[in-house]
Amino acid sequence: MTPRMINLRDQEVLLTGMAEAAQEAGIYLIGEQQGLGMEAVEVKGRNDFVSYVDRESERRIVRRLKALLPGAGFWAEEEARMDGDGDARWIIDPLDGTTNYIHGLPLYAVSIALENRGQVVAGLVYEPVHAEMFTAALDIPSCLNGVPIRVSGHARMEEGLLATGFPYHDFSKLEAYLGLLDFALRNSRGVRRWGSAAVDLSYVACGRFDGFFEYGLKPWDVAAGALIVGQAGGWVCDFKGKADYLYGQEIIASNPVLGQVLQHKAAEFFTTAD
């Protein structure tokens, strides 16, 4: 079955169905965290973990999304790799912040994005512990639990609170990253590291953070959050100022003024690293 044409009405329906899938997964994640032991955790790579919880969360999400949009493909972090019979596919992180989760920290998220013909057209990030649902679509502004949100209005870096993600397995550009981090620390109100790129991006979208930067990310880490930032009036790019943040493994997200400052500094440090 060919995926339905995506229009404004469908986007509303899609976001509703995505929210139901994310809420089911979120309830499951909360219920499993307390009893999760390290014996249930597998090591995929250096500081890269997975458990039955990730896989079951993904299975539940995929089951719902198959019914929501028959024929769409899937690209998910753990196991779901399937082509559809059309141009649409889901990009899913069933548990963004796995390291936080297995250590008992209450900050992690479910991230679901729909890509159609190479463009992300709908995105959702659900942070279940605080029951915060961030949503956006191409024709629907970004919202937090149904209330419209906007990026911050700060125009001076010294007014900004920034977020980042520390390199945890790819240290090839560590020196360049530390240069950018040094700039951020010296010129802002502070830098936070939450451990979930999806949450970081969502917090940029609602103005809690003024900017976010990280390298070494995968599409499922950023697909939904980047759209939510953009639809909240934000600016999203890679370190070169281009739009290759979904597959280029580096991202800057901010309001348009501070985003340009961060991008220029990132280009300064990372061009040398390349």
8 Å CB contact between 123 and 223: yes
pLDDT of res. 9: 59
Architecture of domain 157-273: 3-Layer(aba) Sandwich (3.40)
Pick the CATH number of 8-148 from 1.10.260.40, 2.130.10.10, 3.40.640.10, 3.30.540.10: 3.30.540.10
Domain ranges of the chain: 8-148, 157-273
CA dist 102 and 146 (Å) reads: 30
Q: Which residue has the tokens 């290759």?
A: 244
For the chain, 274 residues long, give each residue's pLDDT as a single digit of tens: 344 444 445 899 999 999 999 999 999 999 888 866 555 566 554 544 567 888 889 999 999 999 999 889 999 876 656 666 678 999 999 999 988 998 889 999 999 999 998 999 999 999 999 999 999 999 999 999 999 999 999 999 999 999 999 987 788 899 999 999 999 999 999 999 999 999 999 999 999 999 999 999 999 999 999 999 999 999 999 999 999 999 999 999 999 999 999 999 999 999 865 5
**Cβ pair 220, 81 in contact under 8 A:** no
* Helix H or strand E segment including 115: strand 109-116
Q: How far apart are CA 209 and CA 191, in angstroms?
A: 9
- Report the pLDDT value the prediction gives residue 4, as an integer from 0 to 100: 47
Task: Report the pLDDT value the prediction gives residue 79, as an integer from 0 to 100.
Answer: 67
Measure the CA–CA gap between 231 and 254, rounded to whole angstroms: 12
What pTM was estimated for this model as a whole?
A: 0.91
Strands 48-51 and 41-45: antiparallel
Q: In the numeric block, which tokens belong to residue 246? A: 């979904």
